[in-house]
């Protein structure tokens, strides 16, 4: 089953475009978990159990695990195994933002898709097509290219004008010519105008968007700009607002409440008007 099929099935089943980012930060975890043997895993497990019927994908950002070294990566491995054994219908997106040349790119692709067993991952496209082919060759997996990021300085280089067009758009136009049907597109949720232009270029691609604002108005703008003609085809990530909705022993319940709210806030704007 391809990532796209798996994603579309769960989007329909859970009526959700919400991606929950599993980005555990030891400094922010509920205190009582720090006494357990594997706080990161226990936290992730509780979040997954509390939200699995409300999401379309889980997205661990590997940086949060790497910061804790091999021990952190062991918690990631355990989390992935738990997710895939317990809720096999939910895809796993490993947010790793990798990218290197030829033979090294193949090693990163092997790590993401074989060792971590991710259904999808994120990459930098800036080195060009030959650096990405080792990822694209995993046909059932999806490789999501960073076209426009959500941060404040995102425009510093990504918006540089190339023949009157921003660099990110020129890059996107080139990506569109690549003959692989398992390429996903990343656009930050803080740039609805840019999202609209990129969605027009890729009407049928799967998108990932992160940095969803807490304001309804912002959600309205980015959802309307990002969905495809069927009101779908995109994953909206939320991490901190859900993971740290409470720092007490009720964190999982509060995470569920916040997940439900966010899912429904997104769904409100999924009908194309």
Is 6 marked active-site? no
For residue 189, which of 140, 241, 139 has the smallest C-alpha distance?
A: 241
Number of residues in contact with a copy of itself, rule: CB under 8 A? 56
Residue (126 or 272) nearer to a copy of itself, CB: 126
Residue (177 or 200) nearer to a copy of itself, CB: 177
Residue (5 or 114) nearer to a copy of itself, CB: 114
The DSSP call for residue 204 is: T
Report the C-alpha dihedral over residues 60, 93, 137, 63, rounded to 10 degrees: -20
For residue 268, which of 234, 219, 200 has the smallest C-alpha distance?
A: 219
Binding letters toward a copy of itself, positions 88-127, x by CB under 8 A: ---------xxxxxxxxx-xx-xx--xx--------xxxx
Span near a copy of itself by CB under 8 A; candidates 85-93, 157-165, 221-229, 242-250: 157-165
Residue corresponding to tokens 């941060």: 151
Which member of 35, 88, 153, 273 binds a copy of itself (CB under 8 A)? 153
Rounded to 5 degrees, φ, ψ at 13 are: -65, -45
User: Measured between alpha carbons, how far is 3 from 19 in angstroms, rounded to an integer?
Assistant: 14
Q: Of residues 97, 110, 196, 254, which has the active-site annotation?
A: 97
Minimum distance of a copy of itself from residue 164's CB (angstroms): 10
Residue (5 or 130) nearer to a copy of itself, CB: 130
Q: What does 155-203 look like in DSSP terms, one character per residue? A: HHHHT-EETTEEHHHHHHHHHHTS--S-EEEEE-TT-HHHHHHHHHH-T
Residue corresponding to tokens 């918690």: 75
Span near a copy of itself by CB under 8 A; candidates 5-13, 56-64, 194-202, 256-264: 56-64
Please report whether residue 149 would count as binding a copy of itself according to CB under 8 A: yes
Residues 192-221 that bind a copy of itself (CB under 8 A): 211
User: Measured between alpha carbons, how far is 145 from 65 in angstroms, rounded to an integer?
Assistant: 22
Please report whether residue 44 would count as binding a copy of itself according to CB under 8 A: no
């Amino acid at each position: 089953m391809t990532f796209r099929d798996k994603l579309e099935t769960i989007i329909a089943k859970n009526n959700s475009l919400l991606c929950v980012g599993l980005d555990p930060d030891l400094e922010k975890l509920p205190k009582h978990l720090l006494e357990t043997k594997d706080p990161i895993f226990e936290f992730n497990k509780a979040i997954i159990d509390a939200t699995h019927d409300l999401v379309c994908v889980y997205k661990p950002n590997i940086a949060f695990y790497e910061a804790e070294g091999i021990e952190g990566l062991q918690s990631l491995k355990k989390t992935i195994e738990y997710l895939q054994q317990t809720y096999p219908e939910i895809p796993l997106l490993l947010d790793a933002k990798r990218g290197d040349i030829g033979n090294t790119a193949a090693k990163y692709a092997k790590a993401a898709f074989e060792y971590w067993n991710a259904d999808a991952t994120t990459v930098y496209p800036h080195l060009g097509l030959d650096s990405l082919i080792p990822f694209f060759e995993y046909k059932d997996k999806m490789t999501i290219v960073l076209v426009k990021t959500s941060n404040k300085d995102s425009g510093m280089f990504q918006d540089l004008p190339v023949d009157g067009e921003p660099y990110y758009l020129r890059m996107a136009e080139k990506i569109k010519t690549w003959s692989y049907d398992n390429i996903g597109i990343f656009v930050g949720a803080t740039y609805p105008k840019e999202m609209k232009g990129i969605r027009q270029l890729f009407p049928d691609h799967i998108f990932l968007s992160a940095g969803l604002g807490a304001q309804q108005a912002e959600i309205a703008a980015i959802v309307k700009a990002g969905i495809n003609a069927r009101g779908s085809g995109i994953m909206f990530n939320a991490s901190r607002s859900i993971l740290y909705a409470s720092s007490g022993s009720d964190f999982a319940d509060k995470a569920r409440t916040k997940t439900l709210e966010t899912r429904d806030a997104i769904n409100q704007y999924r009908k194309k008007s």
